[in-house]
Chain A
């Protein structure tokens, strides 16, 4: 077993692992190092509100979202983004210069993806601006049926400019590496706990972390057989994962 690793950081998925909509997964109110999620609509403030109502003891800088990953990348590259993100996500980019943009960030913001705006983004990209995509989801479920996600529009601009976007959301390596950056830990010293076998566990293990799959949220029977190598551990729920860590990995 890999129990000889010195475990220094734990990343925990939010939706499906710690909470499902507005209800906490039973027993999940435990303090942990970091909380990691792919949501791109809500700002960290909103997420914090929701989690605090469920009595999770979490501080803002312990939440790392794919928006945070995008922000980290922008700061490291020192670029000024054209932000094609939902208005509710804007607070997470506060303080970043957006005038005279030389980068494009695309999140889930359907109201933004009209011809004029995409054409503006296209011209920036042709001039050499990097394209950063929060994630490349093909579509999502709305009340009135399926709706196009950001993925198709990212693909459109990639084709138009013959370039590739840097995708920062799970399961991309960038996401996990950026999440760990603030902890000062190497991937080999960290474990990820999540309910999405491919995006949470697979993504984390691809970067060198240990992955623990929990059978709550979107988990379906035999999900653990869908990735190679399989999850380091598959267990009932978040509290069980924590027990395992405390007993075997510290």
Chain B
């Protein structure tokens, strides 16, 4: 690989994944990943623009940011690009009224949405709310529709919590796709629109941005397909460096190491 100076030349903005990079979620508000609180602080003191780009869909932005602040992170709601608000935009634009297959923790993000007489299904990381009954309700709604529409907030396979690995929304999205013979529309990483809106929020172009994430396909692969560079951290759900299709622009132990390198080499 080229030296870091070359790999990070011209970076003006950083997109940060949250789960697996900043912290591991779990009981009691989760645990900050070693060095990440300080790393975010250092980034914010620098000239680099920072945006948090997350697929978190089990809790509202307010709740997520609250938890992270309690762990010491310098983060506010306005700095976060998350899938629920993006989905609400689409629902409003297309006159869609969803059956919400979601965890109660994120319900407040949908307060402005009409959910009567549903003509589509929105599926998020519902966690414990992925009961057979709820899945079946969503399935029955889709089967009744002449034009079944399934909107999925992300399609991640799993993520890491402090207690271990947890099934994410992706497998459940696939379950409904298979049952109904349809394809979901994915809102969130790795969809290009999602990355673009994060970049727009900080006024940085793709070729000047680097994404830092723990999901080789969703974070790294997705960002690279938009023309960004991407670094893979060895925290969170990371398991092995050799993916058959995706090659990160760099592999770092954690966010702290990534920030060290960025502050040395970026924006020169």
Contacts and interface: CB of A to CB of B under 8 A. Distances in A.
Contact of B175 (A123, A145, A147, A155): A155
A129 to B, nearest CB: 14
A114 B131 contact: yes
Nearest to A142: B136
B127 A115 contact: yes
Interface stretch (A156-164, A165-173, A240-248): A156-164
Contacts of A157: 171
B165 A155 contact: no
B175 A153 contact: yes
The interface centre, meaning the residue of A138, A156, A161 with most chain B CB atoms within 10 A of its CB, is A156
B75 to A, nearest CB: 28
B178 A160 contact: no
Nearest to B172: A156
A118 interface: yes
A99 to B, nearest CB: 20
A155 B174 contact: yes
Contacts of A148: 132, 135-136, 139, 175, 179
Interface in A42-98: none
Contacts of B140: 145-146
A122 B131 contact: no
A146 B172 contact: no
A147 B174 contact: no
Contact of A146 (B143, B167, B174, B176): B143
B110 interface: no
B55 to A, nearest CB: 15
Nearest to A145: B140
A101 interface: no
Contacts, number: 79
Interface size class of B (residues with CB under 8 A): 20 to 34
A128 interface: no
Contacts of B167: 115, 118-119, 122, 156, 160
Given A145-B140, A146-B143, A151 B179 contact: yes
B170 A159 contact: yes
A39 B226 CA distance: 49
Contacts of A153: 175
A182 interface: no
B145 interface: no
Nearest to B127: A115
B136 A147 contact: yes
Interface size class of A (residues with CB under 8 A): 20 to 34
Nearest to A117: B132
Contacts of A116: 128
Interface in A145-197: 145-149, 151-153, 155-157, 159-162
B130 interface: yes
Interface in A96-114: 110-111, 113-114
A110 B132 contact: yes
B158 interface: yes
A160 B132 contact: no
A141 to B, nearest CB: 12
Nearest to B126: A115
B157 A159 contact: yes
Contacts of A118: 130, 167
B141 to A, nearest CB: 11
A126 interface: yes
Interface string B143-169: 100000000000001100000111110
The interface centre, meaning the residue of A113, A157, A160 with most chain B CB atoms within 10 A of its CB, is A160
Q: Please give me the 5 A-B residue pairs with the lowest Cβ-Cβ distance, nearest first.
A: A156-B171, A152-B175, A152-B179, A160-B171, A156-B175
Interface of A: 110-111, 113-116, 118-119, 122-123, 126, 138-139, 145-149, 151-153, 155-157, 159-162
25 contacts: A110-B132, A110-B136, A113-B132, A115-B127, A115-B129, A115-B131, A118-B130, A126-B165, A139-B143, A139-B179, A146-B143, A147-B139, A148-B135, A148-B179, A152-B175, A152-B176, A152-B179, A155-B175, A155-B178, A156-B171, A156-B175, A157-B171, A159-B170, A160-B168, A160-B170
